[in-house]
Every structure is written in structure tokens, then in C-alpha cells.
Chain A
Amino acid sequence: MAKQINVALIGNPNTGKTSVFNVLTGLNQKVGNYPGITVEKKQGVCKLPRGVKAHVIDLPGTYSLNASSLDENVVIELLLNKNDKDFPDVAIVVTEIENLKRNLLLFTQIKDLGIPTILAINMADRMKRKAISLDIELLEEKLETKIALISSRKNIGFDTLKDLITNYNQLSTKPCVNASSIAPEYFDRLRKVFPNQDLYKLWLVITQDVNFGKLERNEMQGVASFQTESKSNLKRLQQKETIARYQFINGALKETLTIDTANAKDLRSRLDRILIHKVWGYVIFFGLLLLMFQAIFDWSSYPMNFIDTTFASLSEWVKNTMPSGDFTNLIAEGIIPGLGGIVIFIPQIAFLFLFISMLEESGYMSRVVFLMDRIMRRFGLSGKSVVPLVSGTACAIPAIMATRNIENWKERLITILVTPFTTCSARLPVYLIIIALVIPEGRVLGIFSLQGLTLMFLYLLGFGAAIFSAYLLDKILKIRSKTFFVVEMPNYKLPMPKNVIITVIEKTKSFVFGAGKIILAISIILWVLASYGPGDFNRASEIVTQETAATNLSKEEIETKIASYKLEHSYIGIIGKGIEPAVRPLGYDWKIGIAIVSSFAAREVFVGTLATIYSVGSEEEETIKNRMAAEVNPILGTPLFNFASGISLLLFYAFAMQCMSTLAVVKKETNSWKWPMWQLFVMTAIAYVVALGAYQLLK
């Protein structure tokens, strides 16, 4: 078998690099993470002529080899490490015709590393409309490379590109810019210390914190002395390097590229005039948000109901067909509902990423960042925090996954930490039933229902808590991260369905296999805690039958009494009673305590747990509501769910971190247990204090 060719796709963001990757590899791709960090690693296989195969790796988009984010670091670390198994035999630098000059900066840097480099110029289909002409042969000569003029949208030029990959060993590896010509004195000194090293690679190692596989440790000490050179001195040299590169590029493009600027009046300026208008820009943005909400709340409720009933009947079926016993119960009551708890999130995640990827692909997202940056910055956030915060009202899980494009680590971390405050859809069932119980049905000014206003207040409270805690975190967190903000405003493009679909599939998969495992595990643990118990638990039916012997309850009523007794004496019941002293000052009893503990799996479990505890036997809302309304506080003798305890409970759910799935995702995204634990304790502490204060004031 012929040797597989390692290919690295490198390019600026917005050049269509990922669509080139999608065309080359089709669905034959794999997405994982680089070890230890949450940067996505995308790789795939591309079939070349004559049965040769290429292993293609899609490196994160970067503007240059001078890394300013984790994603960009991945690029340079791979390109400097010859021993990496992914080290490319050939690099393809993807550029786009309209920004060729800027895109070529990265090309010259890659070529100077001595890696055989192909230049792929994308979006060739736009040339005619934009009156751009390019002398390819002359440009190939000037850059000493091979060029493939391609269009990933129209699928043009890929045969040429594949031929070039096959014949990569014929490419010239001569550098574009001689490093030592930038600052002769400095590089001469460098050469004297490291006579056998490539100067440009050395220079890259000196200017940033990357590992350099080829250098021995003792040699690195020599590098350190060059690093002590003042920071601004190094930066001045970097500026000189950039100027030298642009001089080279301008020289190469001067005779080869012509753009008829008269034709430049284009879609961009017309769309920009409306989409980032000082008034209409915001109106359109909020209109789009409304549509997105509609999709996430409303449209996804159909598949979610379907999933819910399917898993419920699957459980039922397993119970009825398999021989009864612990194993069947584990499957029917632990594993299947656990899996259901993962699958049920898929519609919301898919809808959210459908919208986000379309907005990103079209170039609109940069405009949102532009519109919102100033407002968000007051709270230590970035224009890029808007999408996560808004999508958090559907579900915090995809929202936290959507923070990845915030380059500034501090702004990103704050966004991740505060997003769970926004009112997610899992809080809704809890809010609805408690509001129905404790808030009177009257209207304000004859129009607004009090209950509706309460719900709106809870949503505003969620947003307020997120924004306010972001403000505090900005003051508290001492994280030094560069506060650069440079956002490219790309051309508007029609989203390509293939790219959008691949993104949706990828994000959904990453949720199901990443966070899903932890959700399943905790569901099973909760099931075990609720299904087993010491002592009296195992004699439940005996005890209940004795107690009810004198009464004439129906068989069903006795069954539900047994279930209720079992729950009370199960491990989780014991935990609930254990925490009762802690929740009593908030106006709750041990039953609500259990519901809160099991809400840790997912907040909406609250209603189901109370249904079991009150042995209603049915999850019909009205019956639970009536049963809850009749519940009496054993100490005070007043209704348990009164105005004070109801408000206290609402506030507790508004602030507490009770979602293991979110914690799992935060762990994955921040790569440490520190931040999810921080969220769990701080948010729950806030919830406790606020609920306590409210109950004590109102009772």
C-alpha cells in the first residue's frame, strides 16, 4: 500500500477553509479534541488519483503564525514539530480571491518554514462579478509555488488541487522572505549562538510560548537569553517582519492581480447600511432572536414530546416483556429514562446550531458582535457573548458550547460562568406549577395577568443575575488576558447547506457523546438511590398493607401508597430527611428537599418527583397542583405552599445550579472541575441566601 500523504489545511478565518475540507473529505471526517484542550481537531481522508490517499487535517483558522489564542497555538505547535504524527508532508494555504493580499501573509510564513506549500485560491466563482483578473502562471512564478484556483461552492478546481497534492514533492521549498534581511544585526547574533538552526523557526520560538520539538533543553536556555530582550523591541521586529512580508506580497501581486474598483459597489455596503443601522440594526437583530426562540421553544417541542413518549413506552415495553427483577428495573427505570434525558436535548441543540451556523456562514454574526460590543463590554463581556446569553434561555448546554469563538479567555470564562443564570426551558415547568399555586389569578390594570407578569419578572431576574454577576466577576477575576478586539467583517454569503448540516451533526454528536455519558451516569445513580433503601424500605408493601388493612382502599391506591412509602425510606428519602433542617428555614419540608436533590439531575424532575412523593400516580398537572395545594406544613399547620414558601422556591430555582448536564459541559469547555464546582457552590449559595431572605421576610 502506498504511503498516506499528510495534508494540513491552513488559512485565515472566512476563506471557506472548512468548506474546502468538506469537499475534499466528504462525510469521511472525524472530529475530536487536541489532547488536554478543547480546541476541535478535524481530520478526514481524501481519495487522490491512482489509489493514493491523503490524510487531511483542518487546522483552526488563523491570521498568522503569531498565535493569540489557543486555537492558533495548535497550528504553530504542529508546524514546528517534525515528530508529530500529523506533521504535514504538504500544506495547503486556503485564501479567497477578494482578500488575497491579506491572506497571502500567512502563506509566506508557512512557506518560510520549509514545508511544501500549495496555494488554493477560493471563491473563484466571484471573480467575474467582481471584475477581478489574475495571472496565475506569473503569480506561481513570483511566489514559487503551485496554485489551484477553486470554488468550494461550485465545486470547481478540485481535480487540479488533488493533482497538486499527489505531486507535492515537486514543490519548491524556497523561503519567500529571508528572515535575516528583516533585522540583520539581530539575526546575525542569533546565528552565532545557533549555527545549525533554521533562523525563522528560532524566531518563532523566541517570540511566543510554543514547544520546539527539535531543540534540546540545554539549547533552549540560549533561547531564553534572546527572550529577555524587551517585549516592545521584539514587537518592533515583528512589525518589521510584517512590513517585509507585505512588501514581498505587493511585489508579487502588482503585475498579476487587477481589481476593477468601479464594480466595487456591492451587496456588502447595501446590506451593511440596513443590518448595522443604529436603529434598524437592533430591530432586525431582536427580530431574528424572536424567531430563534420560537424555533427552540415551539418547534422543538414536537420532536421533544415525541422523544418523551417514545422513551416512556419503551420503558413500559421493557417492563412488560422482560422477566421482572432488579436488572429489568435498572434498564426500564434507570438506563432508558437516562438515555431519554440525553436524547430529549437533541432537537433544541440542533435548532440552535442550525441558526447559529447559518448566521455565522452568512457573515451576519460579525455584525451582531459589532452592534453589541459596546453594551456588553460594560459588564466585562464581549460582543461575542450575546449569542450564548440569549441561547441560554433555551438551554445552557448548547449556549456554553457556543462561547468557543470568544478569543479573550477572561471574557469567555465569564460568559460560561454566568450563562446558567438565564432562565432555561427546564425551569419553566417548575415555575408554571408554583406560580399557579401561589400567585393569585388577578390582573394589573385589567390587562396583564399577575401570573404572566411573575413569569416575565423571573426571566428578567435571570438576565439581570447573569449581567450583574458578570460585572462582579470582571472585577474579581484576576486573569491577565490581552484585551485585543479585532473582528473581521466578512463578505455576505449565502450559507452552504452542506456546511450547515455538517456543523449541526457535529455539535449534536459532541453533546451526546461528551456530556451524555455523565448525564446517563448520574441518572443511574439517582435511580439507585431512589429504588433502594435500608431496613423498612424492603418491608414497604408489608407495612403499608398492614396499615391499610382496616380501610377499603382500592388496589391501585394501595400501590401508590407503597411507592410513596418506599421513596420515603429509600436512600434518597433519607437524604431528603437529612437535609430537612437546612431547608426548613426556607419554608420547605423533607419532600420538597427530595425534589430539590433529585432536581440536580435536571430541574424539570421537580414536578415528577413531587408526583411520586405525593403518590398522585399521575403527572397530570391539575391533580398535582390540587394535591400540593392541600399539603400542610406539619409544624405551622398552615398550607405548605403559601405565598412565602412559593416565592422562596421560585427564587431558589432561579439562582441555583441544579443541572448536572451543564456542569458536565462546563467541565468539558474549561477543562477543569474548578469552574463547574465554583458554579455549583456559589450559585447554590446565592439561591439559598435569597430564598431564605424572601421566606423570612414574607412569612
Chain B
Amino acid sequence: MLTIASLKKGQRAIIKEFSIDVVPLKLLEMGCLPGNEIALVQTAPFHDPLYLNINGSHLAIRKDTASQIEIELID
């Protein structure tokens, strides 16, 4: 399964479905919704946390959250 956690630096993708229970509401409200575009800007050492551009917003989330959100790559 391809998730946000498997993105490489600079890669872009579209958010697919995710289980609503594991993703904080705050993240949804900041634009992390199915169908929106997402790109990995940078990662901290150990690939955690991840610095993302979600729907135009720049935010950092932890890897465990990122690995719950399925994506589809844009090439």
C-alpha cells in the first residue's frame, strides 16, 4: 500500500481514502482530504516527521500518522 510515508522528497500525489479514526480532525481541517494534492517537501532524520505541502498548506506530521493515509502518485 502506498502511503504518505512512502513518498520521496519532491514527489507529488493525490490523497486517496484513509481510515477516519486514525487521522486527527485537525489534519482534515488543514486540507488533508481525499482528492487533494500532496507533496513531500523535506524529511527530518529517520524519515520522521515529514514536512508536507498539502493542498497549498505547509505542515509537518509524524510518520505514524502519515503511514495511515493512502495516496496515488502523480507522474
Contacts and interface: CB of A to CB of B under 8 A. Distances in A.
- Nearest 10 A/B pairs, CB to CB: A484-B24, A489-B58, A487-B60, A64-B29, A485-B62, A370-B60, A232-B21, A374-B48, A102-B57, A235-B20
A366 B60 contact: yes
A487 B45 contact: no
B20 A236 contact: yes
Contacts, number: 103
Which of A369, A371, A374, A383 gathers most chain B CB within 10 Å? A374
Interface stretch (A237-245, A285-293, A678-686): A237-245
Q: How large is the interface on B (under 10, 10 to 19, 20 to 34, 35 or more residues)?
A: 20 to 34
A66 B29 contact: yes
A201 interface: no
B51 A370 contact: yes
Interface in A489-533: 489-490
Contacts of B57: 99, 102, 488
10 contacts: A64-B26, A238-B25, A373-B48, A373-B60, A373-B62, A486-B24, A488-B30, A489-B41, A489-B59, A489-B60
Q: How large is the interface on A (under 10, 10 to 19, 20 to 34, 35 or more residues)?
A: 35 or more
A102 B56 contact: yes
Nearest to B27: A486
Given A232-B21, A272-B42, A373-B62, A489 B51 contact: yes
Interface in A366-387: 366, 369-371, 373-374, 377, 383
A242 B29 contact: yes
Given A64-B26, A68-B24, A485-B49, 13 more contacts: A64-B25, A232-B20, A235-B21, A239-B25, A242-B28, A243-B33, A370-B60, A374-B49, A377-B62, A484-B26, A485-B61, A486-B30, A486-B60
Contact of B44 (A102, A246, A268, A370): A370
B55 interface: yes
B25 A246 contact: no
Nearest to A101: B56
Interface in A226-274: 231-232, 235-236, 238-239, 242-243, 246, 268-269, 272
Interface in B12-48: 20-21, 24-31, 33, 41-42, 44-46, 48
Contacts of B21: 231-232, 235
Contact of B29 (A105, A366, A371, A485): A105
Which of B26, B31, B42, B48 gathers most chain A CB within 10 Å? B26
A204 to B, nearest CB: 13
B65 interface: yes
Nearest to B53: A489
Contacts of A369: 60
Contacts of B30: 63, 102, 486, 488
Contacts of A276: 42, 44, 51
A66 B41 CA distance: 28
A102 B65 contact: no
Contacts of B51: 272, 276, 370, 489
A482 interface: yes
Contact of A272 (B26, B41, B45): B41
Contacts of A64: 25-26, 29
B5 to A, nearest CB: 13
A68 B25 contact: yes
A278 interface: yes
A236 B28 CA distance: 11
B18 to A, nearest CB: 10
A374 B45 contact: yes
Contacts of A377: 62
